Amino acid sequence: MRRKKEVLRSGLISLAICALLASCNQGFDNDESFSSGVSNSVLETPALDANCFTTLTNSDGTESVKVTWPVVYGANGYSVNVSRVDNPASPEKIIGDSIVDGCSVTFLKEEDTKYRITVLALGGKDGNTDSETGRYDYSTYLPATLIPEGTDIADYINSNLPNSSSEEQVFELKGGAEYTMNSLANFKMNKVTLRGDKNSRAIIKVGENGGFMIHAGFKMKYINVDCTDMTAEGGILGLGKLENAADSAMCASITTEALGYKALGANQDGYVIVDPVVIQDCNFKNVPKSLLYGNKKNWSLYDFRITGCIVQLNNAGSSNSVLHLQGASNGLIKNCTLRNNTFYNVQENSSAYFLRYSNSSNAQPKKIFGDAKASYVIEHNTFCRTMTGKDFANNLANTNTITTYCCYNIFEDVFRLYQFVQTQTVRTTIGNTISGITNAVNSNDNGGRKDSNGNPLATEEVQGFTDWSKELDLTATNGGVDFTPTGSVAKQNKSGDPRWYK
**CATH no. for residue 63?**
2.60.40.10
DSSP one-letter code for 21: H
Mean predicted confidence (pLDDT) in 443-451 = 97
Banded model confidence at residue 467, pLDDT cuts 50, 70, 90:
very high
A 10 A CB-CB count for 488 gives: 11
Mean predicted confidence (pLDDT) in 450-466 = 98
Residues 265 and 392 in one domain: yes
Banded model confidence at residue 4, pLDDT cuts 50, 70, 90:
very low
Contacts of 17 (CB under 8 A, 6+ apart): none
Residues 291 and 396 in one domain: yes
Phi, psi of 8 (to 5 degrees): -65, -45
User: Is the separation of the CB atoms in 446 and 415 below 8 Å?
Assistant: no
CA dihedral 176, 182, 187, 191 (to 10 degrees): 20
Residues 334 and 443 in one domain: yes
Instruction: Tell me what pLDDT residue 233 has.
Output: 83
Evaluate whether residue 22 is within a structural domain: no
Distance CA 471, CA 480 (A): 9
Chain centroid to Cα 320, Å, comes to 25
Residues 246 and 131 in one domain: no
Evaluate whether residue 415 is within a structural domain: yes
Residues 359 and 474 in one domain: yes
Residues 115 and 249 in one domain: no
Banded model confidence at residue 25, pLDDT cuts 50, 70, 90:
very low
Evaluate whether residue 151 is within a structural domain: no
Instruction: Please report, as a single letter, which amino acid is at residue 188.
Output: K
Evaluate whether residue 172 is within a structural domain: no
Evaluate whether residue 162 is within a structural domain: no
Using left for φ > 0, alpha for ψ between -120 and 50, and beta otherwise, residue 261 falls in alpha
User: Is the separation of the CB atoms in 202 and 180 below 8 Å?
Assistant: no
Evaluate whether residue 202 is within a structural domain: no
Mean predicted confidence (pLDDT) in 282-297 = 98
CA angle 264/332/62 to nearest 5° reads 80
Banded model confidence at residue 35, pLDDT cuts 50, 70, 90:
low
Contacts of 191 (CB under 8 A, 6+ apart): 165, 168, 169, 216, 217, 218, 275
**Helices in 263-389 by DSSP H: which ranges?**
365-369
Q: Is 309 helix (H, G, I), strand (E, B) or coil?
A: coil
Residues 292 and 440 in one domain: yes
Domain boundary among 140, 164, 199: 140
Residues 342 and 489 in one domain: yes
A 10 A CB-CB count for 132 gives: 12
Banded model confidence at residue 79, pLDDT cuts 50, 70, 90:
very high
Domain count, the chain: 2
- Among the listed ranges 5-9, 43-47, 253-257, 475-479, which one has the minimum average pLDDT value? 5-9
Distance CA 307, CA 269 (A): 30
Mean predicted confidence (pLDDT) in 150-172 = 95
Phi, psi of 139 (to 5 degrees): -130, 140
- What is the residue range of 274's domain? 234-500
Q: Which strands form 393-394's sheet, in the order they lie side by side? A: 184-186, 211-214, 235-239, 290-293, 323-325, 355-357, 393-394
Q: What is the pLDDT of residues 186-206, one digit of tens each?
A: 999 999 999 999 999 999 999
Q: What is the pLDDT of residues 90-148, one digit of tens each?
A: 999 999 999 999 999 999 999 999 999 999 999 998 999 999 999 999 999 999 999 99
Residues 402 and 267 in one domain: yes
For residue 230, is the peptide bond before it cis, meaning its omega torsion is within 30 degrees of 0? Answer: no
- State yes or no: pLDDT of 400 exceeds 80: yes
Instruction: Tell me what pLDDT residue 317 has.
Output: 84
What is the average pLDDT value for the chain, to the nearest integer? 93
Evaluate whether residue 43 is within a structural domain: no
pTM value?
0.89
Residues 116 and 241 in one domain: no
Residues 134 and 244 in one domain: no
Evaluate whether residue 158 is within a structural domain: no
- State yes or no: pLDDT of 6 exceeds 50: no
Nearest in space to 381 (alpha carbons), one of 349, 402, 405, 416: 405
CA angle 110/308/330 to nearest 5° reads 105
DSSP one-letter code for 401: T
Q: What is the pLDDT of residues 225-250, one digit of tens each?
A: 999 999 988 899 999 999 999 999 99
Distance CA 94, CA 108 (A): 9
Mean predicted confidence (pLDDT) in 3-32 = 40
Domain boundary among 123, 140, 157: 140
Domain boundary among 91, 123, 140: 140
Residues 250 and 359 in one domain: yes
